[in-house]
Amino acid sequence: MEVTEKVAIEHGLKKDEFIKICELLKRVPNITELGIFSAMWNEHCSYKSSRKHLKKLHTSGNQVIQGPGENAGVVNIGDDDALVFKIESHNHPSFIEPYQGAATGVGGIMRDVFTMGARPIANLNSIHFGSPQHKKTKNLLRGVVKGIGGYGNCIGVPTIAGQTSFDDSYNGNILVNAMTLGLVNKNKIFYSKAAGIGKPVIYVGSKTGRDGIHGASMASATFDDKVEEKKPTVQVGDPFTEKLLLEACLELMADNSIIAIQDMGAAGLTSSSIEMASKGKLGIELDLNKVPCREEKMTPYEIMLSESQERMLIVLEKGKENYAKKIFDKWNLDFAVIGKTTNSKKIELIFDNKKVAEIPINLLAENAPIYDRKWKKNKLPQKIKFDKNEFKSLKLSDCLKKILSNPNVCDKQWIWDQYDHTVMGDTIQKPGSDAGIVRVHGTKKAIAASVDSSASYCFSHPLTGGKQVVCESWRNLISVGAKPIAITNCLNFGNPEKEKNMGEFVECVEGITEASKYLNFPVVSGNVSFYNETKDKGIKPTPAIGGVGLINDYQKMITMGFKTSGNYVYVIGKTEGHLEQSIFARDLLSEKKGPPPSINLFNEKNIGENVLNLINENLIVSCHDVSLGGILTAVSKMCIKGNKGIKINQLKGLINKFEYFFGEDQGRYIAEIPKENVEKVNKILKSNSVHYDELGIVDKKMLNFNNDIKLPIEELKEVHKYWLTKYMDS
């Protein structure tokens, strides 16, 4: 095929990018070379619109072993143990083909983790869908959940936590973000940097097919009416093969045979080979006739761009080929020596004894375009003057029930019931909590993890929203008794070529940076997903933050359910009654304008550290952070979880009861305190300048406030637990 400007544009390249390629090569690329450039220069692989701003992220810390730039981030958790983790998007594939898109998203993120020598111990996810009334939502949700469960359950890794939301902005672009945690000895971490000349390059895993070709390019484009035609670009996963690949790779890693290893994810053999060569500042030569293929007459172009799943590329010590082959033969996986490292600093492809491609590595990596796109600053919206007369017609109990049954607040058991969250036997806090928790097997340590996002806050004011989502992750970890360590982020945005969208991205990153730096909560890995847009309508900015924390003694873990009647219940942190951007404002008042709640990082840190101290000192017996829906929603969830009620005290001060109970002020926790600990807790909080309210007393089986609310726990359960089940069954 003759390569022209038109062909280049069809590959997702811009006109000026094609011109630059020709200038750099000093010739027109052939079709295989063009395919390689289109893969490596697309947004998904090159980060050409985001790289400039991602450099601002706070990525260092005492426990950080590996920050961004590798397959996953790594943090030290003591005793020679290290935690490897990352979150990544699979948005476009999941919208096109929900089951396979979600399944291969899970498979891909797990390969990123075990590529570094870690055994996966837990999965999480952040999934976002359009309005429940939209004609596609129900089928997309069903397919995605089945895909996540189908892959994770089969490979035998528990799914311990997640987040699900619904919003009109996702009608044309759902989001599927998958996260995996893995454990590794800190002295046995594997990296993707190739080293040495003449070292054998090994292909292992499944055979290469025509599935997923142009998958990375598709992920860097917006959708139109022809979205169904893109199904061939979606990869097909096989979790049983991935399990074999996991075990084989870990077995080989026990020996000192591997120099570098890289999974074949986005852009397949192209990105894996080029990334290894680029990091090692050397060349790589591949004989494509030796690549195991499951389809006949595959071309070099197809072989290089296929995104067939469950494949790895390894640079091996010379002389270790037979040893390695025996391992992969034992696990019934393909093994082939397909090339070698060279000193050429080029990627050179041989097919049918002819050189079919030759490109300097630096042109694909260091010389990939970096754009300083124009962006528009977002103003903080003006506060809303709510007409308090509107409140007079509202009943607290009716408002609470409506919020508890809101799709973004309701119980998501229908989802997590489809996930195996107990396999491996180390899960000690299951989905539905502030964070999932798994033990570090054979020790007293436990890892807590959560994933959070807040599109409405970010849409209203991206800078504040970026801070908020980091703080939300921080609070969720503290609420279960974990010391926050580090985060991974998946930054989901619309078309970066639009100034407004780019501004949302830039300011969200600034907010994330400011909060993570202040809280010493560094970003160690992540992913950017742009072009989440259909027919010129993009999603709300949705940065997903996956946070991890350490519990040194898992017996110190705490849960959210109320424990004992007669115990005191405190709101720790000050309540101002911020209603703008709240569930209450949107659902009960139909008000979508106004700023998000402000973030005070000093208070977040001070309050969080004091709450964690109270938990470690066994002074608190249950805890839950205050987020969507405010105090009354948080308390209701604690009632439901513990099958206990609460008698709420009369409110003091001038604040309106609707503002107090449903405002979404940040930096707050609900804590249950035994009578005998109250005096000590009060002393600690006062001495550290932490505001608190005595909210009420744990009661038997009734949520009771004055004459405004008298709701049995069973009624709370009914409205909270069954909305999603009823929706999916209807």
Q: Which residues are catalytic?
A: 44, 90
Closest by CA position to 340, among listed 196, 194, 199: 199
Longest Cα pair distance anywhere in the chain, in angstroms?
A: 86
How many CA atoms, within 13 angstroms, populate the side-chain half-sphere of residue 157? 30
Element (H, E) at 5: helix 5-10
Which stretches of 412-565 are DSSP H helices? 413-416, 455-460, 462-479, 499-518
- Asked if 335 and 203 touch (Cβ cutoff 8 Å), the reply is yes
State how far the Cα of 33 lies from the Cα of 347, in Å rounded to an integer: 10
Whether residue 440 contacts residue 447, with contact meaning beta carbons closer than 8 Å, is answered with yes
Residue type, 121: I
Kind plus residue range of the DSSP H or E element containing 263: strand 258-263
Contact status, residue 102 vs residue 143, Cβ threshold 8 Å: yes
From 421, 521, 426, 508, select the one nearest 473 (Cα to Cα): 521
Q: Are 469 and 545 in contact (CB under 8 A)?
A: yes
Extract the runs of DSSP E, i.e. beta strands, from 387-432.
427-429
From the centroid of its chain, how far is CA 692? 33
What SS3 class is residue 250?
helix
Q: Are 269 and 338 in contact (CB under 8 A)?
A: no
Tokens standing for residue 350: 């041989």
Strand pairing category for 119-129 and 159-166: parallel
Q: What is the Cα 39 distance to its own chain's centre? A: 23
Q: How far is it, in rounded angstroms, from Cα 275 to Cα 112?
A: 14
